[in-house]
Each structure stands twice: as structure tokens, then as C-alpha cells.
């Protein structure tokens, strides 16, 4: 008798809750707010780059970003892999410069908020990151002496506007300083590549304000249920937290070994050691920061079993447009990614942090539907790309 009465009451209250926008508890609303782009906060300063917020340096960096002369074959620029029309990534499992890398190209938008760059965090600023591919034998393939000469020949005015007189390039340290400054100019441009508001963010704004949803700020019942799973049963929000949906940390999630990469990839185990010794890290003589401004580096975990095959949590903003997935593009679709997390297979090396989820096929589809509400092309210097 009780059950017969209770069921209609439960169904009825759920229906009323749904129709009047009371579908999220106060706790859940707090989580939704934390995931919204409105919670992102102002761009953090980069004390290691004194031209980080200089528009002149950003304009110089923008030109460098697209300049294919900065390569060994005259055909590769940053934009070769970080393609503006593809949200600053490419669409292949591994990046192709003058050769083929062992990793998937990472997005740029919003990375100015992140303490670590690359899948293994082997760089600790946007400017030091930009220098890595320039001297990688399979990416740009050139060297700093060649690049310094290009600056002297083609960018003298731009260089001097941001960094003062071009030093004597017969001195090796001067060449390295010019090279570091190229990274700082590119970073000043990259800081302007930002995340834009998505339908999910508009939905959250309407929910928090208690407004009736319009077509521009509503989620379908499946997308809404996917969001509920994302912050609940599926535990996605554990690592994909905050307004960029990343904890900026490194996790072993049992991602399979790439069939395209011959070398062993240990992830953060190697990246952590590399960043502490990096010639251009926050504590280096090329950094503009004081040591006490390098907290992330000074207090980084640099050893331990947790680092083995741990990779950086990527932001999920724009994820639907970013196949293939994982650090070497091992998984072709969002469906494959969600299935991977659901199964929680053991890691090929180290120990996976995942636990089996046992979600239904329908639930996986709903999470995927939610992830597709996180799409918006990045903005550059405050403007939407054409």
C-alpha cells in the first residue's frame, strides 16, 4: 500500500523538480558553478616572462608562431600542428613536423592557467614550452643559432621593441638569451588564445540565476543526465575539475601503449626529472621570476611510483572536436574514451588510478552528449576566429 502511494509521489516530484529548474541540489549547484567558465578568474601573472602581457611582444610572437622559416626545411611553424582552424591542434594521433613525434598535439587555449606544459609536464611555462619543439629534431628541426640569425635578419625592429638591443650573436649565451626571448614573445601571443563560453556555461548561468532556459542555454534531458553522471556516479569531476575541467595534474589512467610509437613512454616519471633540470625553467637564469615565485617547480613531486605513465589531465573544453584522444592519440573517439574509463583496464606500466564504473551503454552515451556541450572555438586576442 505504501509503495503504491510512494511511487507516484516520487515520479511527480521529480517531474515538478525538472520542469521548474529545481533539479540540482545546493551542493550540485556549487559543483556546476565551479565548472563554469565564469569561475575561471583573471589570467594569472607569469613572473617568469616579463613581456607576458605586453601587446607589442604578443604581436611579435604571433608572427613567429606562423613563420615556417623557423624550421630546418622551411615548412614547419608552430601553426603547422597548432592549427587555428582546428582549435590549435591537428587531427592525427601523433604530431608531424619535419618528422613524427611520439605524442599527440595539445591544445593551447587557456594553458596560461596551467603550471605544467606537455603531456608529461616537462616544461613549466608557456615560453619554455614554445622552445622545446623549435629544437626538437622531429618538430621544427632547427637550432637556436639559426633562429637568432632569423631574428637579426627579419625581426630586428620587433625584437628590439620588446627586448631592447639585439646582443652580439657571436656569444653563445647571447644566442640562447635571444632564443629564450623568442619563446617569451610566442608565449605573450599564446596567452591571448583563450577559452570561450559554451552552451554548458550558459546553462549553468541560467540554472544559478533560476531563469527559464532558452534554446541557447538549455541542455537536452540526455545532456543533463550526462552532466549528472559526470559530477556523480562516473567520477569524471574528480580529475576534470574547475573551470577548465582539469586538475592540472598527472594521472595513470591505464591508457594502452601506442602501436605507432616504438620507444617506451614513462610519462611524468621522465617529465618531472626533465623539468627540474630544464635550461629554461622558472628557476633558470633565463627566467624573470624570483625563486619564491617558482612554487610549482620548487615543490613538485619528482619521484615515486605514482608518476610512472602518468599524464596531464587535459581540459575537456572543446574535447568533442579534438579526436583522436590520449597522449598518443590511442583512442579514436569519445565513445572509445568513455568505454576505456568504464572498463578501467590495468595499466601497461605502473598502476591505473581508475576503478571500474559499470555504466550502461545509455549512460555512456549521455556523458558523451554532455561533453559535446563543452564546445566553442577558442578566441584570439579577445576575438572569435572567423
Partner 1 sequence: MKRTAILLLCSSLRRFAPSVGVPRFWIFAALTLSGCMMFMKPPSAPKAYEHTQVSAANTYLATFTPAESIKVGRLHKWNVRVTTADGTPVDSAKITIDGGMPQHGHGLPTKPLVTAHLGDGTHVVDGMKFNMGGWWVVKLTIDGAKGSDVVTFNLKL
Contact 373, 198 (CB under 8 A): yes
User: What are φ and ψ of residue 193, in 5° steps?
Assistant: -90, 110
Q: What is the DSSP letter of 248?
A: S
Distance in angstroms between the alpha carbons of the first and the last residue of the chain: 63
Query: How far apart are the C-alpha atoms of 130 and 87, rounded to whole Å?
Result: 17
Q: Which helix (H) or strand (E) holds 156?
A: helix 156-163
Query: How far apart are the C-alpha atoms of 167 and 35, rounded to whole Å?
Result: 46
Judged by CB under 8 A, does residue 299 bind partner 1? yes
Q: Can you tell me which of 355, 360, 362, 382 binds partner 1, judged by CB under 8 A?
A: 355
Q: Can you tell me which of 277, 290, 304, 358 binds partner 1, judged by CB under 8 A?
A: 304
Q: Can you tell me which of 28, 135, 306, 321 binds partner 1, judged by CB under 8 A?
A: 306
- Build a one-symbol-per-residue string for 51-80: x at contacts with partner 1 by CB under 8 A, - elsewhere: ------------------------------
Span from 79-87, 166-174, 245-253, 358-366 in contact with partner 1 (CB under 8 A): 245-253
Q: What is the smallest separation between the CB atom of 37 and partner 1, expressed in angstroms?
A: 15
Give whichever of 229 and 239 is closer to partner 1, judged by the CB atom: 239
Cell of 198: 559554451
Peptide bond into 244 cis (omega under 30): no
Q: What is the smallest separation between the CB atom of 30 and partner 1, expressed in angstroms?
A: 10
Q: Can you tell me which of 28, 90, 222, 247 binds partner 1, judged by CB under 8 A?
A: 247
Site for partner 1 in 16-55 (CB under 8 A): 34
Q: What is the smallest separation between the CB atom of 277 and partner 1, expressed in angstroms?
A: 16
Span from 68-76, 127-135, 217-225, 231-239 in contact with partner 1 (CB under 8 A): 231-239
Q: Chain-centre distance of CA 330, in angstroms?
A: 17
Q: What is the DSSP letter of 211?
A: P
Q: How many residues bind partner 1 (CB under 8 A)?
A: 22
Q: DSSP secondary structure string, 20-34?
A: TT--S-HHHHHHHHH
Q: Can you tell me which of 295, 343, 381, 385 binds partner 1, judged by CB under 8 A?
A: 295
Give whichever of 41 and 386 is closer to partner 1, judged by the CB atom: 41
Give whichever of 101 and 114 is closer to partner 1, judged by the CB atom: 114
Q: Are strands 311-312 and 383-384 parallel, antiparallel or unpaired?
A: unpaired
Q: Can you tell me which of 351, 372, 375, 379 binds partner 1, judged by CB under 8 A?
A: 351
Residue carrying C-alpha cell 582546428: 86
Q: What is the smallest separation between the CB atom of 31 and partner 1, expressed in angstroms?
A: 8
R_g of the chain computed on alpha carbons? 23
Q: Residue 104: name the closest of 96, 94, 118, 113 by CA.
A: 94
Judged by CB under 8 A, does residue 298 bind partner 1? yes
Give whichever of 135 and 296 is closer to partner 1, judged by the CB atom: 296
Judged by CB under 8 A, does residue 300 bind partner 1? yes
Give whichever of 290 and 335 is closer to partner 1, judged by the CB atom: 290
Contact 250, 267 (CB under 8 A): yes
Cα 260 to Cα 36, 264, 340, distances in angstroms: 36, 11, 19
Cell of 117: 606544459
Q: Residue 385: name the closest of 214, 320, 376 by CA.
A: 376
Q: What is the smallest separation between the CB atom of 295 and partner 1, expressed in angstroms?
A: 5
Judged by CB under 8 A, does residue 248 bind partner 1? yes
Q: What is the smallest separation between the CB atom of 56 and partner 1, expressed in angstroms?
A: 31
**Chain contacts with partner 1 (rule: CB under 8 A):** 34, 237-239, 241-242, 247-249, 295-296, 298-302, 304-306, 351, 353, 355
Amino acid at each position: 500500500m505504501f509503495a503504491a502511494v510512494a511511487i507516484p509521489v516520487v515520479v511527480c516530484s521529480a517531474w515538478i523538480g525538472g520542469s521548474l529548474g529545481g533539479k540540482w541540489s545546493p551542493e550540485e549547484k556549487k559543483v556546476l558553478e565551479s565548472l563554469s567558465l565564469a569561475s575561471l578568474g583573471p589570467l594569472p601573472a607569469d613572473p617568469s616572462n616579463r613581456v607576458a602581457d605586453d601587446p607589442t611582444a604578443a604581436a611579435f610572437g604571433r608572427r613567429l608562431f606562423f613563420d615556417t622559416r623557423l624550421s630546418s626545411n622551411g615548412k614547419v611553424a608552430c601553426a603547422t600542428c597548432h592549427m587555428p582552424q582546428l582549435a590549435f591542434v591537428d587531427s592525427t594521433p601523433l604530431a608531424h613536423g619535419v618528422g613524427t613525434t611520439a605524442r599527440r598535439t595539445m591544445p593551447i587555449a587557456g594553458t596560461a592557467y596551467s603550471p605544467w606544459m606537455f603531456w608529461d609536464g616537462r616544461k613549466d611555462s608557456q615560453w619554455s614550452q614554445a622552445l622545446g619543439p623549435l629544437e626538437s629534431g622531429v618538430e621544427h628541426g632547427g637550432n637556436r643559432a639559426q633562429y637568432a640569425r632569423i631574428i637579426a635578419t627579419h625581426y630586428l625592429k620587433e625584437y628590439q621593441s620588446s627586448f631592447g638591443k639585439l646582443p652580439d650573436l657571436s656569444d653563445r649565451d647571447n644566442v640562447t638569451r635571444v632564443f629564450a626571448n623568442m619563446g617569451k614573445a610566442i608565449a605573450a601571443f599564446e596567452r591571448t588564445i583563450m577559452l570561450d563560453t559554451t552552451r554548458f556555461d550558459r546553462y549553468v548561468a541560467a540554472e544559478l540565476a533560476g531563469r527559464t532556459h532558452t534554446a541557447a542555454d538549455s541542455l537536452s534531458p540526455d545532456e543533463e543526465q550526462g552532466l549528472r553522471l559526470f559530477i556523480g556516479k562516473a567520477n569524471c569531476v574528480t580529475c576534470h575539475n574547475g573551470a577548465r575541467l582539469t586538475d592540472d595534474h598527472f594521472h595513470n589512467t591505464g591508457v594502452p601503449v601506442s602501436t605507432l610509437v616504438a620507444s617506451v613512454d614513462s610519462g611524468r616519471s621522465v617529465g618531472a626529472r626533465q623539468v627540474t633540470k630544464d635550461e629554461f625553467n622558472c628557476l633558470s637564469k633565463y627566467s624573470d621570476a624570483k625563486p619564491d615565485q617558482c612554487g610549482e617547480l620548487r615543490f613538485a613531486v619528482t619521484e615515486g611510483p605514482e608518476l610512472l605513465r602518468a599524464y596531464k589531465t587535459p581540459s575537456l573544453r572543446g574535447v568533442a572536436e579534438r579526436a583522436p584522444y590520449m597522449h598518443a592519440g590511442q583512442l579514436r573517439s569519445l565513445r572509445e574514451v568513455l568505454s576505456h574509463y568504464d572498463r578501467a583496464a590495468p595499466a601497461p606500466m605502473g598502476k591505473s588510478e581508475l576503478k571500474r564504473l559499470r555504466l550502461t551503454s545509455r549512460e555512456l552515451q549521455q556523458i558523451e552528449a554532455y561533453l559535446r556541450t563543452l564546445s566553442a572555438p577558442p578566441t584570439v586576442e579577445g576575438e572569435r576566429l572567423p
